[in-house]
A and B are shown apart, each in its own frame.
Chain A
Amino acid sequence: MPDMQPLVSDFVLKLKRRKVEGSHAVARQTAELLRSVVSQHRMGSSANQAAALADAVRAVGEQLIAANPIELAVGNIVRRVLHIIKEEDISATAVGIEGLSVAVDSDDEYDSEHDDRPALSAAVLAAHARNALRAPSLQTLLEDIPVSPAISLTASSTGDSDGKSKSGDKSSTRKLKHDVIAAIGDLIDEIDSCYEPISEQAVELIHQNEVILTLGRSRTVKEFLYAAKEKKRSFRVFVAEGAPRYQGHVLAKELVEKGVQTTVITDSAVFAMISRVNMVIVGAHAIMANGGVIAPVGMNMVALAAQRHAVPFVVVAGSHKLCPLYPHNPEVLLNELKSPSDLLDFGEFSDCMNFSTQDGSPLLNVVNPTFDYVPPKLVSLFITDTPIDVALFGEIACWFNYCRAVGNQ
């Protein structure tokens, strides 16, 4: 797909130059790019259509991930798309060789969990997922899709289809591509509408006359609070301003426009105010495999304050932020040091950085990290758009499975 290269390198450049930032924007654009990669992909007459398609996506995905490793959403979306391809491939195979599919599938399965529901074929599931206008929930993903033996499965199943359905090849590959594109479209819709299922739960969590504390500005948190307000809940919000980017100021403005009682505090006042707070609700940049959260800088302090005063610490995040990686890998960076100009006015401090009169070594150093890591034990609850809002233990268990499932691809 040589015609895709300019688009890909353009997006790579944008990621590199940090022109596209923020999980939502990055996730959406990655999905869109991958969709056009898939649609431009020329289906050869080679044996394994799905594998070729997956390879193409993987190749692009690797470039994108390398372009800005801190935007973990890129990797998440690439993995989701790979997952979609595999899923569609299974269903296509299932449709193509109607009678055999169940037998083949169940032959390959040795998962006891799957044996419980042999009736539900992958095709039905995929169709269901497409029609439901939102992604399959984590549970269904984990329970119904045979992922762990994925590679062997695709190999074997295509081997089957290769031998048995040469005639239907052309139509089936077209169908596969079409289905994949449609599924990616659904994924994009899901990314766009991830706020809705999350904010649906707002009323259950925010009670009358409660005080909520948040840090910085997260669109998910904003929608969450809006939803509660729309349901005529009256509550107050403390917004920690989120230095040095002061996104909290923007959030405060937006909340006031909707008629929410808002108090802006400095980040350093979090400990002072936390005793009056009923719940902390924050957004995240990414949620890691161990349940740790990568969030805007200052979040760990808020989490510690919440733990100290036994205030629930709730993280709301769309499922595109769920990342099957562990945060101990320094290669993933987990942080990005931005320009010190957020903190200091260059002109005012220029005399502190006059190296000619300072013995050559810089005496003034400014560190401006973007993210904090909040360890899992400080998080009371995750709210995502997939319908699991179980307690932490269950969450992590699901996590583990999900990560194994998605991460393997």
Chain B
Amino acid sequence: MSQKKSRSRGGGGAAAASGDDHEDLARPPPLQAVLLADSFTLKFRPITLERPKVLLPLVHMPMIEYTLTWLESAGVDEAFVFCCAHSHQVKEYLERSGWAGKAGAGSMAVTAVESHDAISAGDALRVIYERGVIRGDFVLISGDTISNMCLKDALQEHMDRKKKDPLAVMTMIIKHSKPSILTHQTRLGNDEIVMAIDPETKELLYYEDRADNSQLYVTIDKDILTNNPTLQLHNDMEDCYIDICSPEVLSLFTDNFDYQHLRRHFVKGLLVDDIMGYKIYTHELRSGYAARIDNFRSYDTVSKDVIQRWTYPMVPDVISNCDRSESRLHRQGIYKASDVTLSPSAQIGANSVVGSTTSIGDHCKVLNSVIGEGCTIGKHVLINGSYIWDNVMIEDGCKVSNSLVCDGVHLRAGAIVEPGCVLSFNVEVGKNVVVPAHSKVSLLAQPSNEDSDEELEYADTNSGVTDSPPFSSMRSNGDQATVPSEEDESGTSETGTSGVVGYIWTSGDTGILEEWRQSIAPIPKEKLEELQHAVSEDDGSEDESNNPTLPDKDDSWDSVVEDDDHISKFEKEVEETFQRALGGGVNRDNLILEINGLRLAYSLQHADCAGAVFYSVMKSALVAAQSTNDTLLKTTAEALDKWKDLLRNYTKTVDEEMEILLKFEEMCQETTKEFSPLFSKILPFLYDTEVVSEDAILRWAEEKEHADESDKVFVKQSEAFIQVYVLH
């Protein structure tokens, strides 16, 4: 028999296994993967209090299932699943679904790595390093990443590059995706990322995922510009959070024990600090899909992508969980399990998924929604753009729009769930109760900011949290107004029928992020209009300054107002930059560079700049000084002395010096009246430090001679000085 078998080269599986062996010879270490089954963020609170994020169903399948399936089909031989929060649930799932304990030829071995004190991806990788299980290059991915990309090319690129240059430690997978012009968000709800990439080598030179939307500019170190003859700046790339890493990455994390976040600390650290010359490269995904579910918005977006089959073959009708029955694709992208009880008068719209044993009553309307298994949906229910998980009971006449409804939720008759809501496990909503938009309801109370078994956001976002209490408490008051019995304990059935059983969370936990950005609900119309308005205003002002139109009375008035607005904005930014410089963060050269950058961004004159810088210097002196005139004078003198080089940089011509004087005058009259008695005393300082020349002072005095009496106050004040010093 064995002879026969060898003659026939075994079955299909044996042939495949031998093929794998062959590949292994060419590539000695098996391909390993580290899967982080913990997001280390709080974005999915309150759901993640009860179930880890990677086990949340995305179109009927837990997210980790997609990730593992992809890893296996991408040819990974060994995967380490790092679990932290709810680790027992993750491990239990791995065993139940048959991933763990599979160690046959051709299939992927999955090992769970558990740690309870890791609070960030950095910690997780340090644990992995300590275990010493990673022997070669590995794929680093988090358990909430959905992909169907072919890893072979990227892997090959990485290997080739490493052979040539051992310092190329990481290849990052990126994907072309246009951010929205209005919100400056990617379609996944993340902020748009600015990357600088060398077009030849694909080396990543700059990475900024928190580019401030309000500023509309990025600052790139000039070293990058000098060292690289060409570079491409992208804001239309999406980070897929799939990395191919060399083992050095793990040791880097161990050496730099303060690295927490993969991107914010590790990537930026490597790029900025230039540690041992390590380099990061990018691989642009040409065909194939990859996206990470980072927030509710991306949950919504990726779900829709799955339904629209971008993730093929990871679509509901092709792969299915072992214990779930197959669903079939019908026309218009409707996926239905075979044992759905559907009333003839119920209407299922396009791009919807209905799980098995779910029953849908008469005259229901289901649009763009995913409904899980074992749900009971009554009559005249409208479900729009929502994600209903398993065993949910929705009674007659409910309306659910653009919300996430977890397992076991019970909506009593007539309840209305407004857009952007998240109803966590087993929440009950009483009769005719309206759950207001963007509320998050859970049976578990909201923990205070400090303690959480799962993870804390990093220091930079926590600073936002401290600002929020007034906002959040105001919000919760608003909730109380609309929902009668908000703080009902889960046990109180009497009030349970009239209100909501569960706690309504305040939005403090998401920090100062505005709710509409990352919720499931589409951005409200008003918000869009507002943003649209803002954009067109920006465009408008630019147009005005670029090509002056015919003088229409109203228009020109508008433009002046806008122009003023423009300059004041600019001044504000210069001031902020200056403040940072004061804090010691920026050195002088960079400050000049930054201010010049701002000037270009606002397309203003050099003279405007001089005024703004002067304003900032004086302001800083004012802030530092006490209220008395003497100290003010002293600090002003010090500040001027300190920043005279900076000011001189902007006062190359008499016009610019004039501008400073005029600005000073304006300040004394309007914004900072504290200076007005000191005008004549500060003017000599300016003269001494050679910020303003005598020509400028004389011209200013001349100009003012013809002005109103009120305008002459300061000229008169400083007449003595002009007489004594300048003219002689």
Contacts and interface: CB of A to CB of B under 8 A. Distances in A.
A-B complex is real: yes
Interface of A: 4, 6-8, 10-11, 13-14, 16-20, 29-30, 32-33, 35-37, 39, 181, 185, 330-331, 333, 337-341, 345-348, 350-351, 353-362, 365-366, 368
A4 B189 CA distance: 47
Contacts of A181: 4, 8
Contact of B312 (A11, A185, A339, A350): A339
A355 B12 contact: no
B62 interface: no
A16 B318 contact: yes
Question: What is the interface of chain A mostly: helix, strand, loop, or mixed?
Answer: helix
A39 B5 contact: yes
22 contacts: A6-B13, A10-B13, A13-B107, A16-B313, A20-B12, A32-B11, A36-B11, A337-B329, A338-B312, A339-B309, A341-B288, A346-B177, A351-B180, A353-B301, A353-B304, A355-B300, A355-B304, A356-B187, A360-B385, A360-B522, A361-B367, A365-B351
Given A346-B175, A353-B301, A360-B300, 14 more contacts: A7-B12, A14-B12, A18-B313, A29-B12, A32-B11, A35-B8, A181-B4, A339-B148, A339-B289, A340-B310, A348-B176, A351-B187, A353-B187, A360-B368
B368 A357 contact: no
B105 interface: yes
Nearest to A8: B13
A360 B521 contact: yes
Most buried by A among B13, B308, B311, B528: B13
A353 B302 CA distance: 11
Interface of B: 1, 4-5, 8-17, 69, 73, 104-107, 148, 175-178, 180, 182-183, 185, 187, 189, 236, 238, 287-289, 297, 300-301, 304-305, 308-313, 318-319, 328-329, 333, 350-351, 367-368, 384-385, 402, 521-523, 528
A356 B104 contact: no
B310 A36 contact: no
A362 B351 contact: yes
Contact of A11 (B13, B148, B297, B301): B13
A320 to B, nearest CB: 15
Contacts of A350: 176-178, 187, 238
Contacts of B13: 6-8, 10-11, 33
A19 B175 CA distance: 24
B339 to A, nearest CB: 14
A355 B11 CA distance: 47
Contact of A10 (B69, B104, B288, B384): B104
A331 B336 CA distance: 13
Given A11-B13, A360-B402, A340 B187 contact: no
Contacts of A11: 11-13
A17 B528 CA distance: 41
A256 B175 CA distance: 36
Contacts of A338: 309, 312
Contact of A341 (B73, B104, B107, B289): B289
B176 A345 contact: yes
A346 B289 contact: yes
Contact of B183 (A337, A356, A358): A356
Given A337-B329, A356-B185, A39 B236 contact: no
B185 to A, nearest CB: 7
Nearest to B333: A365
Contacts of A339: 148, 289, 309-312
Contacts of A36: 5, 8, 10-11, 14
Contacts of A4: 11
